[in-house]
Amino acid sequence: DAGVIQSPRHEVTEMGQEVTLRCKLISGHNSLFWYRQTMMRGLELLIYFNNNVPIDDSGMPEDRFSAKMPNASFSTLKIQPSEPRDSAVYFCASSLQGSSNQPQHFGDGTRLSIL
C-alpha cells in the first residue's frame, strides 16, 4: 500500500511568494496532521484534521499560514506571503482514529527554503 505522499520534496522560493505544500493521506485514514521541523524548535504540530474538519490549529504560527482538506484524501498547507523564517521541513502524517488510538504515519517531508 502507498504511504503518505507529499509534494514537492524540495521548494526554494523568494520571500513574499506564495507557497503550497501538498499531502495525500493513506487510503482509509481519516485524520491528517501537519508538522514542522526546525533546528530551534524541533518537531512541532501545526494543525490537525479529523474527518476533514480542523480540530486544533493552535500551532499555526500566524495568519500567513492556512491549511485545507478539500476532500477526504488530500490536504494543502499554504504560506502567503512567505518569509525566510518559514524555512523548515514540513511533514504530513495520517492515521485512522476510532475507538482506540492508532499510530501516525509520516510522509517524507517537504524541505522549504525561503530566500
Partner 1 sequence: GIQVEQSPPDLILQEGANSTLRCNFSDSVNNLQWFHQNPWGQLINLFYIPSGTKQNGRLSATTVATERYSLLYISSSQTTDSGVYFCAVTSRGGADGLTFGKGTHLIIQP
Q: How far is the CB of 81 from partner 1 (least distance, A)?
A: 26
Question: Got the DSSP string for 23-69?
Answer: EEPPTT--EEEEEEEETTTEEEEEEEEETTEEEE-TT--STTEEEEE
Per CB under 8 A, contacts with partner 1 among 52-81 are 55-56, 59
In order of 65, 81, 82, 112, the CA distances from 60 in angstroms are 6, 14, 14, 16
Q: Which residue has the cell 518537531?
A: 43
Residue 16 grid cell: 513574499
Residue with Cβ nearer partner 1 (19 or 33): 33
The reply on whether position 31 binds partner 1 by CB under 8 A is yes
Q: What is the DSSP letter of 85?
A: G
Candidates 20-28, 38-46, 62-70, 74-82; binding stretch for partner 1 (CB under 8 A)? 38-46
Residue with Cβ nearer partner 1 (16 or 28): 28
Residue with Cβ nearer partner 1 (13 or 30): 30
| Alpha-carbon span 91 to 35, nearest angstrom | 5
Q: How far is the CB of 99 from partner 1 (least distance, A)?
A: 12
Write out the residues near partner 1 by the rule CB under 8 A: 31, 33, 35, 42-45, 48, 50, 55-56, 59, 89, 91, 93, 97, 101-106, 108-109, 111
